[in-house]
Amino acid sequence: MRFWDHQLSARSETRRLLLAFALAVAVLVAAVHGALVVAWLLMVAVLPVHLPFPAGFLAVNVGVSLMLVLGGWWVETSNLRAGGVKLAQRIGAREARPSVSHAEQRLCNIVHELCIAAHMPQPQVMVLPRTDAINAFAAGWDASDAVVAVTQGALDHLTREELQGMVAHELSHLHEGDTRLKMRLAGMVFGLELVYNFGDEVRERRGLAWLFGSAIMLAGFAGWLAGRMLKAAVSRQREYLADARAVQWTRSRDGLGGVLRKVMAQRRDTPAGYERVTHQGLAHPAVQHMLLVDLPGAGAMERWLDSHPTLAERVQRIYGRSMQPLPLTPVNEPPEAARRAGTVAPGAVTLASLVDPFARL
């Protein structure tokens, strides 16, 4: 995998999509005003009296639209500012216990090693103990509340190399600020949705209000749909970027590639809807776009709205060709020694020594 090329491509595509997102907001505001102007002209054409065009119509329409979009963004973003640890606890995660579990000790060691390699602060390590699906997520606004949470299914079925690939992917999201970006985009989409909801409320008053409310709803729905599609497109590019970064940090395509191929096998061998019905934690709307792999059918009204590329697409990018699923068998690896924070075992070859000096870029 040419991970440098993939990273540059993902960053370039993200910038283009964010610019499109800003344009979509501007177009929404203009569309609301245009729709209300059309509604006003229709009303004047129907009424038997002549009504002058209201003064300040443009300023009021633009002001109210921006207030709804930015106000909704502020409210939703404030709700998500509780922090990564609280969000993880909200869906059933707990702090990792390296002293009582060999698998969790292995996880903590991997997070510690990769943070040294990436020159980044170590996040809180957490586990979703009642989740058999192989998955993980990272969350947090900054280093003080950052968290990497891994499911019990991942601890049970992934080798050390595969777990490294999974953790490297999640650390890349924290390193690149993806969690903040996704939370802000989610807040902005919520603001766009408020324009549609405002039009719906106006429409319920019937009479002439029905005409103006319908105009606002139409423009609001178009803006909300465009926002959802662009947010999903940005999310998919950040997943490609994190995949490439994971291969760069671990110098292994079989690490993360093995994780994705085992997820393919797990989904092939389990009933449809298993993850969504059995594991409500991962199905929480606040974390779905942060997961390593999205849930089957999660919000997939259309392919355009999927927050993740398909497993086959990601495997194709990592290996350069399609690969078959890997058998899903429990991992039985020997226990690892505990590491003290900020120390490296004497004589050990750390991942930091294997990573190029541009890892922090």
CATH superfamily assigned to domain 84-177+251-293+302-319 = Metalloproteases ("zincins"), catalytic domain (3.30.2010.10)
Distance of CA 164 to the CA centre of its chain: 20
Between 190 and 259, the higher pLDDT residue: 259
Residue 333: CB atoms within 10 A of its CB come to: 12
Read off the DSSP letter of residue 13: H
Higher-confidence position of 343 and 71: 71
Q: Give residue-wise pLDDT tens across range 198-228.
A: 888 887 777 777 878 888 888 888 888 888 8
For residues 161 and 114, give the distance between their C-alpha atoms in angstroms, rounded to a whole number: 12
Q: Which residue has the higher pLDDT, 125 or 2?
A: 125
Q: In this model, does residue 171 exceed pLDDT 60? A: yes
How many CA atoms lie less than 13 Å away from 28 in the CB half-sphere? 33
User: Which residues are CB-neighbours of 137 under 8 A, at least 6 positions away?
Assistant: 88, 148, 149, 170, 287, 290, 291, 292
Q: Is the pLDDT of residue 354 over 80?
A: no
Which pLDDT does position 232 carry in this prediction?
86
Residues β-bridged to residue 127? 94, 150
With beta carbons less than 8 A apart as the criterion, state whether 180 and 84 touch.
no
**CA 138/CA 88 separation, integer angstroms:** 9
Please report, for the chain, the start and end positions of each structural domain, with discontinuous segments joined by +. 3-48+55-82+181-234, 84-177+251-293+302-319
Dihedral sign (CA 263, 264, 265, 271) = positive
Query: Sorting pLDDT into bands at 50, 70 and 90, what band is 157?
Result: very high
Share of the chain above pLDDT 70, in %: 85
Higher pLDDT, 347 or 341: 341
Which band of pLDDT confidence, cut at 50, 70 and 90, is reported for residue 297? low
Pair type for strands 124-128 and 136-139? unpaired
Residues 6+ apart with CB under 8 A from 262: 134, 157, 158, 162, 325, 326, 328
Nearest to 32 by CA among 71, 58, 56, 1: 58
CA angle 249, 234, 166 (to 5 degrees): 30
With beta carbons less than 8 A apart as the criterion, state whether 234 and 18 touch.
yes
Spatial contact of 327 and 321, defined as CB atoms under 8 Å apart? no
Alpha helices (H) along the chain? 3-46, 57-80, 84-90, 102-118, 152-157, 160-175, 178-203, 208-250, 253-269, 274-278, 285-288, 311-319
Contact status, residue 126 vs residue 94, Cβ threshold 8 Å: yes
**Rounded to two decimals, what is the model's pTM?**
0.78
Distance of CA 24 to the CA centre of its chain: 20
Of residues 154, 126, 161, the one with CA closest to residue 140: 126
Q: Which two tokens stand for residue 38?
A: 């059309």
Residue 106 near residue 163 (C-beta atoms within 8 A): yes
In the predicted structure, residue 343 carries a pLDDT above the cut 50: no
